């Protein structure tokens, strides 16, 4: 953790063709006042706002093509199926999957991780095996593995954190042993914005044949993801974090892995043949998509990928890097502030987690809301992180492509109000 960062960062150059003000105009929710002041939305790590292109894609499906997919003979079903599967292809290309069949639609990152834990873990984990996760994880990447360990008798092990909220990897060879069967690590921390060395961890895990599961809920949002280059086996991510709808996400997994995994749920769509005593399964990915899928959500997630690709992920990443440099300096200068997370921009994504003197993070958030500034307060589903730092909660400002340095100035002004109240 750091209390001041004004001398640690060199401000990056803003891409010449990147205009966050123009981009902001594509997000209707941002065009409003809260408590009589222009809304400054700094809670994108919880959920991002949705551009007009995504909203229009959702409306088009419901207004024109509303029908179930895959087995309908009529025109509406045909169009819905085409749009649904085209969206799968867009998401596959987004993460550089080998083929669209490696993308399984889920409700989000949480369900995707639970799918792997239940479908692969149940068949492959036994008593005495080890599952390695980290103290930095979101609860969605802790609880499924705790449940699996409890069911199977496996041992759960943790990678610890240093004082800046980075994974301590010096003893990785001691943590990853011949007993290690699963390594499950977040790409980027939702609580601190820490960017983990996922590729290095994956390489170490592969040396012992362990399955590598990546929580990409924050990773797929802020940088171009190449699952093949990362060396992971599974990568889970959510639509609503990356300008798409809620209730939709994806699991990428290697095709051979999906082929060997048992179904996660049973019902319609995931079957090939149903008999009285036994049944056979549909080919991947449909084997894991029981029931009527979130058709509109998938189409909306595909539209979000199109939108982000049109803006350019390199430009978005550089813009966010600029915002973080600015925020670390400006917020770090507020009297009484403590910032949690790496002090290096190379290790710190677009989330700023902090406390301010004796003010409870909930009070910070309440006062900022009165100033029209939306931030998140609490443990951020990362209680182990909070325990590591000896605190119960932080306030978190998280940035995205539609934010500006003016938004950060408004945040700082609000924090000065908080400081004045609690000084």
Active site residue 234: no
Contact call for residues 346 and 195 (beta carbons, < 8 A): yes
400: which 2 tokens?
């995205």
3-state SS assignment for residue 164: coil
Q: Are 70 and 80 in contact (CB under 8 A)?
A: no
CA–chain centroid gap for 410, Å, is 26
Contact (CB, 8 A) for 397 and 42: yes
Contacts of 65 (CB under 8 A, 6+ apart): 76, 79, 80, 83
d(CA 422, CA 205): 48
C-alpha 109/C-alpha 242 separation (Å) is: 12
Q: Could you tell me whether strands 279-281 and 155-159 are parallel, antiparallel, or unpaired per DSSP bridges?
A: unpaired
Q: What is the largest CA-CA distance in the chain?
A: 72
Rounded Cα distance between 263 and 115, Å, is 9
Residue recorded with tokens 């301010």: 356
Contact (Cβ atoms closer than 8 angstroms) between residue 188 and residue 196: yes
Alpha-carbon separation of residue 53 from 47, 59, 61, 300, 395 (angstroms): 17, 10, 12, 9, 31
Q: Name the catalytic one among 381, 388, 405, 413.
A: 381
Helices marked H in 172-246: 172-175, 198-206, 219-222, 227-230
- Residue identified by tokens 């079903």 is 77
Cβ neighbors of 387 (< 8 A, separation 6 or more) are none
Q: How far, in Å, CA of 27 to CA of 296, rounded?
A: 19
80 neighbors 66 (Cβ within 8 angstroms) = yes
Closest CA relative to residue 52, chosen from 27, 76, 77, 34: 27
Nearest to 304 by CA among 59, 100, 50, 29: 50
Residues that are catalytic: 381
């Amino acid at each position: 953790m750091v209390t001041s960062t004004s001398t640690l960062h060199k401000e990056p150059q803003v891409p010449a063709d990147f205009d966050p003000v123009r981009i902001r105009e594509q997000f209707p929710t941002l065009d409003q006042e809260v408590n009589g002041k222009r809304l400054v939305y700094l809670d994108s790590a919880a959920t991002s706002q949705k551009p007009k292109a995504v909203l229009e894609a959702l409306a088009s499906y419901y207004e024109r093509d509303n029908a179930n997919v895959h087995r309908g003979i009529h025109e509406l079903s045909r169009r819905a199926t085409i749009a649904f599967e085209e969206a799968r292809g867009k998401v596959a290309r987004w993460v550089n999957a080998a083929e669209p069949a490696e993308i399984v639609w889920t409700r989000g990152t949480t369900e995707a991780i639970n799918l792997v834990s239940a479908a692969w873990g149940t068949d492959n984990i036994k008593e005495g095996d080890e599952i390695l996760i980290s103290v930095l994880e979101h609860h969605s990447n802790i609880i499924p593995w705790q449940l699996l360990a409890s069911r199977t008798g496996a041992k759960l092990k943790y990678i610890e954190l240093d004082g800046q909220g980075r994974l301590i990897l010096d003893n990785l060879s001691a943590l990853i042993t011949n007993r290690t069967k699963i390594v499950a690590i977040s790409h980027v921390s939702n609580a601190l914005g820490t960017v983990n060395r996922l590729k290095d961890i994956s390489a170490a895990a592969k040396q012992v044949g362990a399955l590598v599961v990546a929580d990409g809920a924050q990773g797929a949002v802020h940088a171009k993801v190449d699952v093949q280059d990362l060396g992971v086996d599974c990568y889970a991510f959510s639509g609503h974090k990356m300008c798409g709808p809620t209730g939709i996400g994806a699991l990428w997994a290697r095709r051979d892995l999906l082929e060997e995994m048992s179904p996660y749920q049973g019902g319609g769509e995931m079957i090939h043949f149903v008999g009285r005593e036994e049944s056979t399964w549909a080919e991947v990915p449909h084997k894991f998509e029981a029931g009527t899928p979130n058709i509109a959500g998938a189409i909306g997630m595909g539209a979000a990928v199109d939108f982000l690709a049109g803006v350019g992920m390199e430009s978005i990443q550089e813009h966010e890097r600029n915002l973080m440099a600015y925020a670390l300096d400006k917020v770090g200068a507020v009297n009484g502030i403590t910032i949690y997370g790496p002090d290096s921009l190379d290790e710190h994504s677009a989330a700023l987690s902090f406390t301010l003197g004796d003010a409870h993070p909930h009070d910070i958030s309440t006062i900022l809301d009165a100033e029209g500034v939306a931030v998140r307060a609490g443990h951020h589903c990362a209680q182990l992180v909070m325990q590591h730092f000896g605190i119960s909660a932080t306030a978190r400002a998280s940035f995205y492509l539609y934010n500006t340095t003016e938004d950060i100035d408004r945040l700082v002004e609000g924090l000065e109000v908080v400081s004045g109240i609690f000084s």
